[in-house]
């Protein structure tokens, strides 16, 4: 079952992922919204609320989740509570989600009160092993600086002149020292930050290393990218004549457990299937989800 504890928190997270996927711009999803009385005191909490702006009106959908395996199917009394909450809070639509299904009385009462029902039916890996991998279907490529060569030229001195003074720093450079000035903003950045900006903007074409391997790549940073950066030194401004880096590219597939696989069903059919991987809080990937929509006949 999806729950790590029986307060429904885990189920709420997974359902909010499913219902929130692909929402249009005029929709807002919120979890754990407090309900307060006239004195501002919280008296209840709504699991998932979706607000949709249609013209000048806002339509509100409340989704309540129940994950209590030890108590069996959701009873009619729960549906009755949700109907009362809808009327009291003036909610337009209420959806009840249960990880243990619904009792016959709950189904009948929900139909009478026009409350939509959804089930969250856990699957085993054997049910999906032919089309869902054990590891998440992603790879992580990292680019680590190995060496840097910086050549600076004093601004205003023609670079094709025999008198050009190039400064080659023979001493080690701390890549985290913010000694580089970004002229348009006045911000000082480090070599590491400069490299990160260039890496994000320009080098997507490098491609990853083979999975589980590393490769060393030499890169000459494009001079047009460096035009906005200078190094103030001894009362002068020096521009980048050359900036070369050697980077190590490594590629790995995260090995984090597949924690949840389930069908999200309602109205007599499977609406979505979710696969969810969860890693450690300090890992490269904390969580990864795949939400699949069954193909419908036209």
**What pLDDT, in 10s, does the model give residues 162-188?**
344 444 444 556 778 898 999 999 999
Higher pLDDT, 143 or 221: 221
Q: Which CATH class is domain 9-129+258-292?
A: alpha beta
- Would you state the pLDDT for residue 200? 77
Please state, as a whole number, how many other Cβ atoms lie within 10 Å of the Cβ of residue 195: 21
Instruction: Copy the structure tokens of residue 145.
Output: 């600086």
- Would you state the pLDDT for residue 199? 81
Give percent above pLDDT 90 in the chain.
Answer: 50
Question: What mean pLDDT is predicted for residues 122-142?
Answer: 90
206 CB burial (10 A radius; 0-12, 13-18, 19+) = middle
Helix axes 104-113, 76-89, angle to 10 degrees: 20
CA-to-CA distance for 183 and 209, rounded, in angstroms?
35
Task: Name the pTM for this structure.
Answer: 0.72
CA within 13 Å, CB half, 78 = 23
* Most confident region among 6-15, 161-170, 257-266 by mean pLDDT: 257-266
pLDDT over 90 (residue 195): no
Question: What mean pLDDT is predicted for residues 21-49?
Answer: 87
Higher pLDDT, 100 or 151: 100
- Would you state the pLDDT for residue 91? 94
Mean pLDDT computed over every residue of the chain: 86
Let me know: does 251 contact 213? Beta carbons within 8 Å: yes
- Would you state the pLDDT for residue 66? 95
pLDDT over 80 (residue 201): no
Question: What mean pLDDT is predicted for residues 114-125?
Answer: 96
CA-to-CA distance for 218 and 246, rounded, in angstroms?
5
Residue 209: pLDDT band with limits 50, 70, 90: low
Identify the bridge partners of residue 23 per DSSP, sorted by sequence position.
Answer: none
Let me know: does 200 contact 192? Beta carbons within 8 Å: no
**What pLDDT, in 10s, does the model give residues 39-86?**
778 878 899 999 999 888 899 999 999 999 999 999 999 999 999 999
- Would you state the pLDDT for residue 5? 44
Question: Domain coordinates of the chain in residue numbers?
Answer: 9-129+258-292, 140-252
- Would you state the pLDDT for residue 4? 43
- Would you state the pLDDT for residue 165? 45
User: Beta strands 140-154 and 166-168: pairing type?
Assistant: antiparallel
Question: What mean pLDDT is predicted for residues 27-44?
Answer: 86
């Amino acid at each position: 079952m999806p729950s790590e504890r029986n307060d429904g928190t885990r189920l709420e997270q997974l359902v909010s992922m499913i219902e929130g996927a692909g929402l249009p711009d005029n929709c807002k999803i919120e979890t754990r919204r407090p309900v307060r009385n006239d004195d501002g005191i919280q008296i209840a909490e709504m699991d998932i609320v979706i607000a949709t702006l249609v013209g000048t009106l806002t339509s509100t959908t409340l989704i309540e989740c129940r994950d209590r395996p030890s108590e069996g199917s959701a009873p009619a009394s729960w549906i009755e509570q949700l109907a009362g909450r809808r009327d009291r809070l003036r909610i337009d639509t209420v959806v009840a989600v249960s990880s243990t299904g619904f009792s016959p009385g709950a189904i009948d009462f929900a139909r009478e009160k026009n409350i939509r029902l959804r089930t969250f039916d856990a699957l085993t890996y054997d049910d999906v092993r032919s089309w869902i991998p054990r590891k998440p279907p992603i790879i992580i490529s990292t680019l680590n600086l190995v060496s840097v060569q910086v050549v600076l030229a004093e601004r205003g001195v023609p670079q094709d002149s025999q008198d050009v003074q190039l400064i080659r720093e023979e001493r080690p450079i701390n890549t985290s020292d913010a000694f580089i000035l970004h002229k348009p903003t006045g911000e000082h950045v480090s070599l590491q930050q400069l490299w990160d900006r260039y890496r994000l903007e320009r080098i997507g074409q490098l491609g990853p290393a083979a999975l589980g391997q590393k490769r060393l790549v030499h890169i000459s940073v494009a001079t047009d990218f460096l035009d906005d950066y200078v190094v103030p030194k001894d009362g002068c401004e020096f521009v980048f004549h050359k900036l070369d880096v050697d980077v190590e590219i490594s590629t790995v597939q995260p090995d984090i457990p597949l924690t949840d696989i389930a069908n999200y069903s309602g109205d007599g059919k499977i609406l979505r299937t979710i696969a969810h991987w969860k890693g450690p809080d300090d890992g490269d990937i904390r969580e990864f989800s795949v939400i699949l929509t069954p193909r419908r006949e036209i």
